[in-house]
Structure 1
Amino acid sequence: MSVFASLVERLADLLHPLFGASAAAAAIVLFTALVRLLVHPLSRAAARGQKARAALQPKIAELRRRHGGNPEKLQRAVLDLHAREKVSPLSGCLPSLFQLPAFFLLYHLFSSGTIGGRDNELLGHELFAAPLGGRWTDALGAGGPFGGPGLVYAGLFALVAVVAAFGYRLTKRSMAANAAAAGGGSGEQQVPGMAAMTRALPFMSFLTLVTVAVVPLAAALYVVTSTTWSVVERAVLYR
């Protein structure tokens, strides 16, 4: 943890001439961008996997017509198809999984009062008027929704809402394309409960609003930056 704290502090020192008191916040945004840049090859592989899975939809639809009355046989046939075509149904999860350690490090860093036996000086840094170690409830208690910290969160919520709406449209468009490729039905409906999950999937982007509201502001900045990167990346890779 102390090594990670030193990295954030060094980035903040480098950015201080440009961002002043908000240098630590800028350092978190830069750190997030660096993490996403490192994960980008996995994102490209996930995009290729998604396109490969979309190309399999007509064959999966045929399997559904052939084995629709036998769910177990259908599931085995679909798994065999993925294995023959060397397409992993889980490849899209890898970019998110590899980002989790960075998020949790930030979360714990800005939730702890001490680092290596000394006071955590990073908690004193701010994004404009909002402490990076504070939460939305703290901002509301420090002046209400229109106080300085409250307005910082209002700006974050507005940004997240715009990004989530764009992500919603991308997801709906991708699902419509997959359904069309499968001949009007989703080739992955053989998994129990997948239909309900598929209907809820486009709305998952809006859960970022909840995350921003409950985690420390530093972790919220990571989430907002990473989510924005993801949406732009999806728009480019899945076009």
Structure 2
Amino acid sequence: MPSFLDAPVNGAYHLVSWIATTIEPLTGLYAAAVAIVICTIAVRLLLLPLSLAAIRGERSRAVLMPEIRKINERHGKDPERVQREVAKLQSESGTTLLAGCLPMLAQIPFFWVMYSLFSTAVVAGEANQLLAGTIFGAPLGIHWPLFASTPAYLGLGVLLVIVAYFSSRRQVRQLDDSASPMARRLARLLPFGTLATAAFIPLAAGLYLLTTTTWALLERTLLLR
């Protein structure tokens, strides 16, 4: 593990361990897994201002789409002019195409810390006790089994597919009539990328991924009515 990750991983280890110890009388063997869910929800709450900004940006872009289409029709043969005009329109409206990416980008450090935490046998100079945590008998530090399936990974995969399915439907519905077939195809398929990611990360990081994607789906469903 790179040395610059030592401090955040050590801090995350003590925090998750403390939460797991606190809730263990109620959750038993699932204390570490529940602690991960609690930490993920806490991260999403911290990022709520960015999520709200992203949602406002999506609404603003929906309002601007007719104007952007007019710019493309008027200056379609001059890509640089289109770029300048769209940038000017966004500046005047106070929105940006990058706003929707902010919550995802801001989560990368948290996800990487969670990945490192459950991929390291020794943390803060001691054996990583969190690796003893399990879900349906599968250790939280295990990666996708190559030759055998486990109930935990099967359940994780099914839940990720369900969340990806509804996320995909929602993203396609958000596209307007001018969206290209390629854009529609990407909107339909990209949410299922979580399944590919889950195949290369520890079960604990997969649980983080499931929790955060479920939160994002519910957040947008409730706030973008």
TM-score norm. by structure 2 comes to 0.92
Q: Does 1:215 align with 2:201?
A: yes
Cα drift, residue 168 of structure 1: 0.8
Cα drift, residue 67 of structure 1: 0.6
Q: Distance in 1 between matches of 2:50 and 2:124?
A: 34
Counting only pairs closer than 5 Å after superposition, residues 146-185 of structure 1 correspond to structure 2 as 150-175=150-175, 179=176, 184-185=177-178
SS at match of 1:56: helix
Q: Distance in 1 between matches of 2:102 and 2:219?
A: 15
Of 79, 82, 85 in structure 2, the residue corresponding to residue 71 of structure 1 is 79
8 A contact 1:132–1:217 mirrored in 2:
yes
Q: 1:133-176 deviations in whole A, cap 9, x for unaligned?
A: 11112xx55xx22xxxx11111111111111110011001001x
User: How many residue pairs end up in the alignment?
Assistant: 217
Cα drift, residue 238 of structure 1: 1.5
Q: Does 1:54 align with 2:54?
A: no
SS at match of 1:214: coil
Q: Distance in 2 between matches of 1:227 and 1:185?
A: 27
SS at match of 2:77: coil
Question: Which residue does the alignment assign to 1:227?
Answer: 213
Identity level (%): 42
Counting only pairs closer than 5 Å after superposition, residues 1-239 of structure 1 correspond to structure 2 as 1-137=9-145, 141=147, 144-145=148-149, 150-175=150-175, 179=176, 184-186=177-179, 196-197=182-183, 199-239=185-225
8 A contact 1:134–1:217 mirrored in 2:
yes
User: Which amino acid in the other structure matches residue 5 of structure 1?
Assistant: Y
8 A contact 1:21–1:128 mirrored in 2:
no
Runs (4 or more) in structure 1 with deviation over 3 Å come to 195-198
Q: Distance in 2 between matches of 1:160 and 1:205?
A: 9
| Structure 2 unmatched ranges of 5 or more | 1-8
Q: 1:114-139 deviations in whole A, cap 9, x for unaligned?
A: 112221111111112010111112xx
Q: Distance in 2 between matches of 1:100 and 1:62?
A: 36
Q: Distance in 1 between matches of 2:25 and 2:194?
A: 31
RMSD: 1.5
Deviates more, 1:61-70 or 1:101-110: 61-70
TM-score norm. by structure 1 comes to 0.86
| Structure 1 unmatched ranges of 5 or more | 190-194
Cα drift, residue 198 of structure 1: 5.1
Q: Distance in 1 between matches of 2:76 and 2:86?
A: 12
User: Which amino acid in the other structure matches residue 157 of structure 1?
Assistant: G
Q: Distance in 1 between matches of 2:59 and 2:174?
A: 10
Cα drift, residue 108 of structure 1: 0.4
Cα drift, residue 206 of structure 1: 0.7
User: Which amino acid in the other structure matches residue 122 of structure 2?
Assistant: T
User: Which amino acid in the other structure matches residue 166 of structure 1?
Assistant: F
Q: Distance in 1 between matches of 2:44 and 2:188?
A: 22
